[in-house]
A and B are shown apart, each in its own frame.
Chain A
Amino acid sequence: MVYEPTLMTGALLFLIGLAMVLLRREVLFVLMGIEVMFNGAGLTAAAAGQYWQDSVGQILVLFLMTITGAELAVALVLVFLAFRRLKVTQLADIHALQDAPPLAEESRS
């Protein structure tokens, strides 16, 4: 069996997801990027299970899908609440817990 196309596809998915997480501004797209990254990782895990002739890889993929589904439900609620309560969709605008901006060089005696 040839593994390269599968692994390359997994790596590509991971990188695309990473790029979405790092570059997109909307919270929803960042979440989607995370999902894409999960899929890349799952594909890689399935290929690795095939390579070592071990069922653990496929079990990991099943777990991954379940947990991702649960996580996504919570995350979507958070995004929804953030929109409804804080009226924001951009990730950078969610900073309710941030410190006050650092003092700009207080006057020295």
Chain B
Amino acid sequence: MSDWLWLIPGSPLAGAAATALLGGALRPSTAARIATLAMLVCAVAVAALWATGGTGGAARQTLYTWMAVGDWQATMGLRVDRVSLVMVSVASWVGFLIHLFSLSFMAEDYGERRYYVFLNLFVAGMLLFVMADNLLLMYLGWELMGLCSYALISHWYRDGAKARCGRKAFVVTRIGDAALALAIFLLYTHFGTLGFEPLLGAVSSSHDDTTLLGWIAVLVLIGAAGKSAQLPLSVWLPDAMAGPSTVSALIHAATMVTAGVYLIARLHPLFEAVPQILELVAVVGALTLVYAGLAALGQHDIKRLIAYSTISQIGYMFLGLGVGAYGLALFHLATHACFKALLFMGAGVVINAYQGDHDIRKMGGLAQGQPYLRLVFLAGSLALAAVPFISAGFYSKDPIIEAAAVAPHGGLLWSLAILGAVLTGAYAFRLYLMVFHGPQRGETVPYRMSWSMRLPLGLLALASLTLGFVELPHGWHLPQLWSPWLAPEVGAPELPHGGGGVLLQLAGMVAPLAGIALAFSIVRRERAGGGTSTVGVLAQGGYLDTVYDLLIVRPYFGLARALRTLVESWSLNGLALGSVVSLIRGGNRLLSMTQNGNAARYASLMVLGAVLMVGYFLWIR
């Protein structure tokens, strides 16, 4: 029944291995086809999983024992329940569409084989991460994504600034990785197991030691925040734009940043055992979504703007997790994956149409040149802004905002979330209007999209508009599919009822529209040379990078430089190594003086030796 589960992470892995091993023997277009084919196999396998086991219990398959120490063993075990099925579907289907889009989008680039190896490996890492049945295997996938994100962000490594962005992403996420590793160590020492089912059972039944559980939960939260670019570790994501647009789509939609959300959803019994940390998750999410929303308003680089919008939307997911609405967070994750992949790939086409220019202040009126792109981009923007009734974003985001209202400290969380909704509408339509409407500006080239680019964009646009209908708002007495389906795994969210609920829903509908109205006036000012991109604090993302640079990066570099001079150069090389070297050198010189090839010298030394020996035997002995 489920003995082909290995195919899901296995086929992208095999694709990556094939491209990496065959290497130079393949033409770049062949490598692209292999990678896309591997993803197609994976996507079909996931579809088959839906058809056979999607509604039943958890499907599982143990491939082999990875390592065994004494009684303890870590298995290569795969497990798919409904929560991970959502993630697997997002990663494989959206991942496949991104691969399909890459076929012609990346066709005239350098390093395609490297690109496709890491792209495939990235999806394999994500699938391994969500399908693992124990924390150790999960961590393997987690690290695999860290590596691949580094390699893909610095794909155009010949540009030093882009290579630096890759390093930044790697180092910042590494902070979270280290925290997650510590959390895993603590969980193992305390509970003696890393398998999810025994571990979470043990966590829910132990009520004695909440201090330790609290620390573990905090460490998991730091890990998730690092991967998902939440405050205070959000700084890497805007710079992750250095990679190709398709890589941004993959990182932002199908993989990587959603890993933190899944991690918390998977470990939710741990967080429920320590409710104050769960509230911390909600607070982190709420603060991040407002911060990133404000920062997005100030961006003029099209990809940085969308990147900040990702941070903001992940903030909504964290808010949903923090108020206990795990199913809704996953729902928003799925819809977000669709519209964010769409927006990023669309942005890639926009950038190509403007000959590599990222600055939306120099764009305008692209709707005439690219009518198809304009339509799908509009669909993505509607979903991002969560326009009521017609977009999937509304059905997934609005319940999270409502659920925040009834949580502890609900007033604060709800106000932040509704403020974020206004901001979302404003920045989403600021982007859309700046690029596609108004007078034609900037130098454009006619850029024809092939069918392999149009098809993914069209499918994602369709999903961005219609995916929401699987979960209609709860007060409407209409069928709901998503929450009841996920309820056995993560429980049902608590939502407001009665008249208050209706008012909250109305507020959730008005907020994005208010934001869009705001966008029109911002865009008018922006075209006149003013607008939000001239506000320094917004454009610089709250000066967070500057602060980190001053507080952490510079002191660290100073420390490294001091150590290099004092310890390495002077103490080690100068004193310790230098004395040994000069000792050997001096001895060498002394001994080689006796062997100078001069026969008379040898003879006199022999005489000297003979005299000394004779003298010794005659007088001293």
Q: Mark B606-621, 1 if CB is under 8 A from A, else 0.
A: 0100000000000000
Q: In whole Å, how far is B590's beta carbon from the nearest beta carbon of chain A?
A: 12
Question: Would B607 and A92 count as touching, CB distance under 8 A?
Answer: no
Instruction: Give the Cβ gap from A55 to chain B, nearest Cβ, in Å.
Output: 26
Residue of A nearest to B593 (CB): A102
B589 / chain A contacts, CB cutoff of 8 Å = 102
Question: Is B592 in contact with A22, judged by CB distance below 8 angstroms?
Answer: no
Q: Is the interface of A mostly helix, strand, loop or mixed?
A: helix
Does the CB pair A22–B598 fall under 8 Å? Answer: no
Interface residues of A in 7-47 (CB under 8 A from B): 18, 21-23, 30
What per-residue 1/0 map shows which CB atoms of B544-585 lie under 8 Å from chain A?
000000000000000000000000000000000000000000
Asked if B592 and A92 make an inter-chain contact with CB atoms under 8 angstroms apart, the answer reads: no
* Chain B 585-599 per-residue mask, 1 if CB under 8 angstroms from chain A, else 0: 000010010010111
Q: Which residues of A contact B597 (CB under 8 A)?
A: 95, 98-99
Q: Is the CB of B592 within 8 A of A18?
A: no
Q: Once the chains are docked, how many angstroms separate the CA of A23 from the CA of B600?
A: 8
Query: Which of these, B595, B598, B603, contacts A21 with CB under 8 Å?
Result: B603
Question: Is B604 an interface residue when CB atoms closer than 8 A count as contact?
Answer: yes
Closest Cβ of chain B: how far from A98's Cβ, in Å?
4
A64 at interface by CB-CB < 8 Å = no
List A residues at the B interface (Cβ < 8 Å): 18, 21-23, 30, 91-92, 94-95, 98-99, 102
- Subset of 21 A-B contacts with CB under 8 Å: A18-B607, A21-B600, A21-B603, A22-B600, A22-B603, A22-B604, A22-B607, A23-B600, A30-B599, A91-B599, A91-B600, A92-B598, A92-B599, A92-B600, A94-B599, A95-B597, A98-B597, A99-B595, A99-B597, A102-B589, A102-B592
- Per-position contact with A for B232-251: 1 when CB-CB < 8 Å, else 0? 00000000000000000000
Distance in Å from the Cβ of B164 to the closest Cβ of chain A?
A: 29
**A92-B598, A94-B599 are known contacts; what are 7 more A-B pairs with Cβ within 8 Å?**
A22-B603, A23-B600, A91-B599, A98-B597, A99-B595, A99-B597, A102-B589
Q: A21 CA to B603 CA in the complex, in Å?
A: 8
Closest Cβ of chain A: how far from B236's Cβ, in Å? Answer: 37
Taken together as a complex, chains A and B put the C-alpha atoms of A23 and B603 apart, in Å, by 10
The residues of B that contact A94 with a CB separation of less than 8 Å are 599
* Nearest CB on A from B580, distance (A): 13
A33's nearest neighbour on chain B, judged by CB, is B603
| Residue of chain A at shortest CB distance from B595 | A99
Assembled-state Cα–Cα distance A15/B243 (Å): 89
